[in-house]
Amino acid sequence: MLARQVSGCRSYVRKTASSMFAKRALSAKPLSVLPVYLNRKVSSTPAANGRVAGAQRSFATASSATPAKGTSFGKVSQVIGAVVDVQFDGELPAILNALEVEGHSVRLVLEVAQHLGENTVRTIAMDATEGLVRGQKVIDTGAPIMVPAGPELLGRIINVIGEPIDERGPITARMSKPIHADAPTFAEQSTEAEILVTGIKVVDLLAPYAKGGKIGLFGGAGVGKTVLIMELINNVAKAHGGYSVFAGVGERTREGNDLYHEMIESGV
């Protein structure tokens, strides 16, 4: 008899609790259910899921107080000649990003070449590293090395970080371009085979150059490779009205100086 009374009490309690829950659910405001329903309707397709997630990420980025890309800081951890290791506390800069050293005697730009792990990147210094010490502050610019571009650059000499070194004042260029760029696609290249007339008879007769191609001039020291290039620059400018870019990588300072003054004298 006692067991029947206990079971009856339990069923009565269950029924009472169920009815109370149903009354609360019916009397509850529909606003608490509406956002869930909307979320389910919006995210019913994968494309919509991506849009919602993108909107949520955008909102989180806009509302968070994290610093913008390009303002992360690091410190020098190791210096071996032109190779400098930099350690960051947060996100590592991308490969080929430009880093600038703070508190150095001259402007020193580092280019990221490798991710070593443990929040460390290996960089290549674009200038001498004398005086660089461990713990020195480094800033991630968030972009590759940029150099001035446009007609204002014609006739000027710049170094690898875009600073003028011809003692003719600053370059007031309206635009700047990164030193690293993707090659044009095959669809953007011409399929016609044309010969570039250089004006040098021995070249045009025996070893003609194809337009859009690459040519290697191999020879020992002092045989006239730079002189031949200077003649090509002169003829291309006068005969074709084109522009030439001379990059002196590993050139002697004296040869670069002589080339510069000879080009001025020739009026190219």
Tell me the pLDDT tens digit for each residue of 212-223: 888 888 988 888
The catalytic site residues sit at: 225, 251-252
Output the DSSP codes for 136-147: -EEEE-SS--EE
Residue 162 falls inside a structural domain: no
Q: What is the pLDDT of residue 234?
A: 84
61 and 79 inside one domain = no
CA angle 24, 25, 29 (to 5 degrees): 95
Residue 51 lies in domain? 19-66
Residue 153 falls inside a structural domain: no
Look at the chain and count its residues: 268
Number of domains in the chain: 3
Residue 10 falls inside a structural domain: no
> Which residues of the chain fall short of a pLDDT of 70?
1-70, 268
Whole-structure pTM over 0.85, yes or no? no
Q: What is the pLDDT of residue 161?
A: 93
74-110 burial, b for 16+ CB within 10 Å, e for fewer? bebbebeeeebbbbbeeebbeeebbbebeebeeebbb
Residue 3 falls inside a structural domain: no
Q: What is the pLDDT of residue 125?
A: 96
48 and 92 inside one domain = no
Residue 173 falls inside a structural domain: no
